[in-house]
């Protein structure tokens, strides 16, 4: 942090006004060159306060009476105190008055100024680190080997102690609600980040806010664990994060990407995590977090060519969409597929009696000619239903951006 950055005029003006009102004496602040940055006597701003030069050199306070002050340019009787941050003199504070009037305030004003400026320095440092982390995240998730310098991204990551060549999985966390709403006060994101930090504790876990509702983790895989063991551990951590957030009144979607060990693979892992969240948002899965390896069918549906979609839609899907109780049909098909065509489990998942499910199957056959045991057609309709839900997500989010 440069001295000139820390001792900016507005900050120093606030300090000077507060100190002057508190002690009832004129106060000024200089930079390391001895020139006045702020004073409640505005005529002294930008003038040389010669007494400060010796204080900056010695790092000790100096009293100067009327006789001494008249020999020093821009100086009045009083005391000049060094401002020391991290053992470095970054400027001075001057207080006008006789020694017996101001000596009782000197240490207090010095300590208050140093505490205030040190806090400001740390705040700016934190802000700078957050910006650098967000910039690194952006470079990773937009990485293209044809246009990006791979080595510079690795070097940027090393500055945070992060080895991007290690085996990792990208995790994306998105707060439920309007993704384009303005943040209220950042409280939710702060709580989410604290929750992530509690659960992802390995020094190589990279945790970063993406915007006011999204956070990303590039979770590090310990070499002592198999991929399956690690994935199970990771899913458990994500469930803990989801529960802790819910307990705090914050509801989130969590998408878990694929394994990666390169920049290109890490970008794809992030995209997989985003697609898992897209599936959760579409209401296809009712789970707090979703692994990208469990949405293979959803990926097939999303990539279904338009001509095939239109053909199957006209043959099967359109008939069901025209029914009054089409949501009941789609819900039945969805659970029938997800319960692996197990009749008893499907009835339980739908919270209905088995005899009711028999009747429902019969009614579906009568109204739209679909035999629920014709698995080819059931799968085709389920595929189209998923595709439509995923596309509706794309449309709603695009409209939000336009609005």
365-374 pLDDT per residue, tens? 988 888 999 9
- pLDDT value of position 4: 47
197-206 pLDDT per residue, tens? 999 999 999 9
What's 334's domain CATH number?
A: 1.10.10.2840
Average pLDDT over residues 261-284: 93
185 band by pLDDT with thresholds 50, 70 and 90: low
Answer with the one of 272, 294, 316 that is the final residue of a domain.
Answer: 294
- pLDDT value of position 402: 35
Q: Give the helix/strand (H/E) hosting 37.
A: strand 36-39
**DSSP readout, 277-340?**
HHHHHTTS--SSEEEGGG-HHHHHHHT--HHHHHHHIIIIIHHHHTSTTHHHHHHHHHHHHHTT
Both tokens of 191, joined, read 């709580």
Residue 322 within any structural domain of the chain: yes
- pLDDT value of position 396: 54
Considering the domain architecture, whether residues 283 and 370 belong to the same structural domain is answered as no
Cα separation of 334 and 323, whole Å? 17
Cα separation of 199 and 254, whole Å? 14
- pLDDT value of position 3: 45
Length of the chain: 403
Cα separation of 84 and 61, whole Å? 11
> Is the confidence at residue 256, as pLDDT, over 80?
yes
> Is the confidence at residue 127, as pLDDT, over 90?
no
Query: Considering the chain, what is the average pLDDT of its residues?
Result: 87
Phi/psi for 290 (5° steps) reads -140, 130
- pLDDT value of position 258: 96
> Is the confidence at residue 400, as pLDDT, over 60?
no
Residue 143 within any structural domain of the chain: no
> Is the confidence at residue 122, as pLDDT, over 80?
no
Considering the domain architecture, whether residues 211 and 289 belong to the same structural domain is answered as yes
11 burial type by CB count under 10 A (0-12 exposed, 13-18 middle, 19+ buried): middle
Residue 43 within any structural domain of the chain: yes
What's 69's domain CATH number?
A: 3.30.450.40
> Is the confidence at residue 267, as pLDDT, over 60?
yes
Residue 142 within any structural domain of the chain: no
Residue 148 within any structural domain of the chain: no
For the chain, the maximum distance between any two Cα atoms, rounded to a whole number of angstroms, is: 109
Considering the domain architecture, whether residues 277 and 165 belong to the same structural domain is answered as yes
Q: Residue 269's closest CA among 192, 172, 197, 175?
A: 172
145-177 pLDDT per residue, tens? 888 889 999 998 988 889 999 999 999 999 987
- pLDDT value of position 262: 93
Considering the domain architecture, whether residues 255 and 311 belong to the same structural domain is answered as no
Average pLDDT over residues 21-31: 90
- pLDDT value of position 395: 58
The single-letter DSSP state of residue 90 is: E
Average pLDDT over residues 133-150: 91
Considering the domain architecture, whether residues 280 and 158 belong to the same structural domain is answered as yes
Considering the domain architecture, whether residues 214 and 335 belong to the same structural domain is answered as no
296 burial type by CB count under 10 A (0-12 exposed, 13-18 middle, 19+ buried): exposed
Of residues 319 and 155, the one with the higher pLDDT is 155
Considering the domain architecture, whether residues 206 and 78 belong to the same structural domain is answered as no
> Is the confidence at residue 129, as pLDDT, over 90?
no
What's 159's domain CATH number?
A: 3.30.70.270
Cα separation of 386 and 382, whole Å? 6
Residue 136 within any structural domain of the chain: no
Cα separation of 44 and 176, whole Å? 55
**C-alpha distances in angstroms, 262 versus 136, 157, 163, 335?**
15, 13, 10, 38
Phi/psi for 87 (5° steps) reads 65, 15
The boundaries of the domain holding residue 56 are 3-128
Considering the domain architecture, whether residues 329 and 240 belong to the same structural domain is answered as no
Cα separation of 380 and 383, whole Å? 5
26 band by pLDDT with thresholds 50, 70 and 90: very high
Both tokens of 101, joined, read 């009037």
- pLDDT value of position 104: 81
Q: How many CB atoms lie within 10 A of CB 95?
A: 24
Considering the domain architecture, whether residues 121 and 159 belong to the same structural domain is answered as no
398 band by pLDDT with thresholds 50, 70 and 90: very low
Average pLDDT over residues 310-328: 77
How many domains, the chain? 3
Both tokens of 199, joined, read 């659960």
Considering the domain architecture, whether residues 288 and 234 belong to the same structural domain is answered as yes
Residue 146 within any structural domain of the chain: no
- pLDDT value of position 240: 96
195 burial type by CB count under 10 A (0-12 exposed, 13-18 middle, 19+ buried): buried
Answer with the one of 294, 325, 341 that is the final residue of a domain.
Answer: 294
Answer with the one of 267, 294, 321 that is the final residue of a domain.
Answer: 294
Residue 67 within any structural domain of the chain: yes
> Is the confidence at residue 259, as pLDDT, over 70?
yes
Considering the domain architecture, whether residues 346 and 216 belong to the same structural domain is answered as no
> Is the confidence at residue 188, as pLDDT, over 60?
yes
Considering the domain architecture, whether residues 172 and 277 belong to the same structural domain is answered as yes
């Amino acid at each position: 942090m440069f001295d000139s950055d820390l001792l900016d005029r507005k900050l120093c003006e606030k300090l000077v006004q507060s100190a002057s009102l508190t002690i009832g004496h004129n106060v000024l602040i200089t930079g390391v060159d001895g020139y006045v940055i702020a004073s409640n006597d505005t005529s002294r701003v930008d003038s040389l306060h010669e007494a400060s030069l010796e204080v900056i050199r010695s790092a000790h306070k100096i009293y100067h009476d009327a006789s001494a002050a008249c020999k020093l340019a821009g100086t009045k009787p009083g005391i000049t105190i060094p401002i020391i941050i991290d053992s470095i003199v970054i400027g001075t504070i001057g207080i006008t008055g006789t020694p017996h009037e101001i000596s009782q305030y000197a240490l207090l004003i010095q300590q208050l100024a140093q505490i205030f400026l040190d806090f400001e320095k740390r705040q700016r440092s934190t802000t700078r680190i957050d910006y650098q982390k967000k910039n690194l995240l952006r470079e990773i998730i937009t990485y293209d080997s044809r246009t990006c310098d791979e080595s510079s991204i690795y070097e940027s990551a090393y500055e945070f102690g992060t080895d991007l060549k290690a085996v990792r999985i990208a995790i994306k966390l998105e707060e439920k609600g309007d993704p384009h709403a303005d943040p209220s006060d950042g409280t939710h994101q702060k709580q989410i980040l604290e929750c992530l930090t509690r659960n992802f504790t390995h020094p190589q876990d990279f945790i970063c806010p993406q915007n006011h509702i999204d956070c990303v983790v590039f979770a590090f895989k310990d070499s002592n664990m198999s991929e399956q063991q690690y994935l199970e551990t990771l899913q458990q951590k994500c469930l803990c994060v989801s529960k802790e957030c819910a307990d705090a009144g914050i509801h989130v979607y969590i998408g878990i990407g694929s394994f990666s060990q390169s920049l290109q693979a890490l970008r794809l892992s992030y995209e997989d995590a985003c697609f898992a969240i897209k599936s959760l948002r579409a209401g296809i899965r009712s789970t707090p977090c979703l692994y990208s390896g469990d949405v293979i069918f959803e990926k097939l549906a999303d990539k279904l060519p338009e001509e095939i979609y239109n053909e199957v839609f006209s043959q099967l899907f359109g008939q069901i969409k025209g029914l009054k109780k089409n949501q009941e049909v789609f819900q039945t098909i969805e659970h029938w597929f997800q319960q692996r065509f197990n009749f008893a489990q499907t009835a339980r998942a739908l919270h209905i009696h088995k005899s009711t499910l028999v009747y429902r199957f019969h009614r579906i056959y009568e109204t739209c000619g679909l035999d629920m045991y014709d698995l080819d057609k059931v799968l085709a309709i389920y595929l189209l239903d998923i595709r439509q839900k995923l596309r509706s997500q794309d449309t709603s989010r695009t409209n939000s951006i336009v609005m």
